[in-house]
Amino acid sequence: MNKQVVAGLAVAVVIAAGGYAVFRGKAGADAASGGAAAASAPVPTAGASGPPVSVSTVAVQQRDVDVILEATGTVAALNSVDVRPQVASVITRVHIKEGQFVRAGELLFTLDARNDEVNVTKARAQLAKDQAALADAERQLARSKDLFAQNFISQGAVDTNQTLVESARAVVAADRAAIESAQVGLSYTRIVAPTAGRAGAINVYAGSTVQPGGNALVTITQLDPIAVAFSLPQRNLGAALATLRAGGGAVTALLPETGKTVVGKLQFVDNAVDAASGTVRVKAEFANRDEQLWPGAFVTVRLAVQTLNGASVIPQAAIIQSPRGSIVYVVDAGSRAVARPVVLVYASGEDAVVTGVKPGERVVVDGRQNLRPGAAVIERAPADGGGGRGRRGGAGPASSGAGVVLPAGASGAAVGRATAA
């Protein structure tokens, strides 16, 4: 190959290399200008664009909410008496039937009374005899006084007759006491109901021999009114005492078999805390005309210890647990979702008492999982059965609402926060 051809190839290679370098430089400049333009463009907010999200909302309600302690209680009779005889004797007649309701003073059993009747008759005869002796002594005293007035006898004779009269009067008084004693013994042969109530099983029949130290003849239990006893932890003692001093708070007993509830009143707080369990014994009294409560039965007891006045109530389903705490989505005037931090004070069932929202504000219940702050929303009617009682009304005036149920022993610190809020 001659020198001219080699020189031409070298020139061609140099020209090609220069053109490639120019092309790379222009491409880099274009990429840099494009990145700068992208950096200066506004970044769209998450959720602020896109189609509106369909949600259901509930207005925050303002009402008075009862703070309630819950425990398991045992039904107990206010009065339960084991009827026993006071003397050894034989049953002659049973006047009641098992399960019968008896009145106080009603005759239950009759014992063999023949020996006691004889003793009463004997004591009355002795009284009659001694009364005759007293009458004779009084006549002798009257004669001696007449004779003393005529100076036929001495003063000592009159004093002797006076002593005989006083002795006879004392004997008559003792006879009357003996009659009363015999009548008391006779009264033991008639066994009457010491209190009104329902008779239990009868353990004797006519002809049975009974003794004071033996088994009870029958047990009479008062059913109306009736009590429910339950225990509260020591940390709830102050709330229970405050409720008792205020006249006794409402106590609700839930019957597990029927699901029915009866309402009573707190009546008693024990004077000591059980050191073994750290609990205090309390009792509530209930009217029991329809006999829904039966001694020995277990019931769920709810004691209202405090009322949160004007509390903000929302459905528990509206609360979202985020990494920064509990929040709810509130729909603002522009139909946009606003994340609002809230503090859960107390909760029961479907309702929750919170701080951080105002009465009348609309919080999202259904569809909140699809929301982002600032997202447009379309409100729809809530689904049946969701969101609790708060869905059925707006804020409205404050009214007494259902109680917040707490396990016995729940802390009362949050109650103060709710009251302050």
Specify whether 190 is located in the same domain as 273. no
Q: What is the dihedral of CA 42, 48, 50, 53, to 10 degrees?
A: 170
Cα 420 to chain centroid, rounded: 25
Q: Which three-class secondary structure state does DSSP give residue 68?
A: strand
Share of the chain above pLDDT 70, in %: 78
In a domain, 1, yes or no: no
Q: Average pLDDT, stretch 155-170?
A: 94
Specify whether 153 is located in the same domain as 277. no
Strands 107-111 and 190-192, bridge-based pairing? antiparallel
In a domain, 81, yes or no: no
Residue 296 DSSP label: T
Q: Which three-class secondary structure state does DSSP give residue 133?
A: helix
Specify whether 114 is located in the same domain as 187. yes
The pLDDT score that the predictor gives to residue 350 is: 87
The domain tally of the chain equals 2
- Short-list 252, 259, 364, CA closest to 317: 364
Cα 26 to chain centroid, rounded: 84
Residue 376 DSSP label: B
Domain boundary among 161, 194, 217: 217
Domain boundary among 155, 182, 217: 217
Specify whether 154 is located in the same domain as 203. yes
Specify whether 132 is located in the same domain as 266. no
In a domain, 343, yes or no: yes
Interval 51-89: pLDDT, tens:
888 999 999 999 988 778 888 999 999 999 999 999 999
In angstroms, the CA 38 to CA 406 distance is 56
Specify whether 288 is located in the same domain as 383. yes
What's the CATH number where 263 sits? 2.40.30.170
Domain that holds residue 202: 86-217
Specify whether 228 is located in the same domain as 145. no
Residue 133, CA distances (Å) to 125, 144, 167, 212 in order: 13, 17, 10, 40
Specify whether 127 is located in the same domain as 227. no
Residue 365, CA distances (Å) to 1, 73, 111, 316 in order: 89, 36, 75, 9
- Short-list 415, 417, 362, CA closest to 390: 362
Q: Residue 192 — very low, low, confident or very high, per pLDDT cuts 50/70/90?
A: very high
Specify whether 401 is located in the same domain as 282. yes
In a domain, 16, yes or no: no
Specify whether 155 is located in the same domain as 262. no
Domain boundary among 163, 186, 217: 217
The pLDDT score that the predictor gives to residue 245 is: 87
Q: Residue 392 — very low, low, confident or very high, per pLDDT cuts 50/70/90?
A: very low
Name the maximum alpha-carbon separation found in the chain: 205
In angstroms, the CA 229 to CA 370 distance is 49
In a domain, 35, yes or no: no
| Unique residue bearing structure tokens 């003793």 | 119
The pLDDT score that the predictor gives to residue 166 is: 95
| Unique residue bearing structure tokens 């932890």 | 233
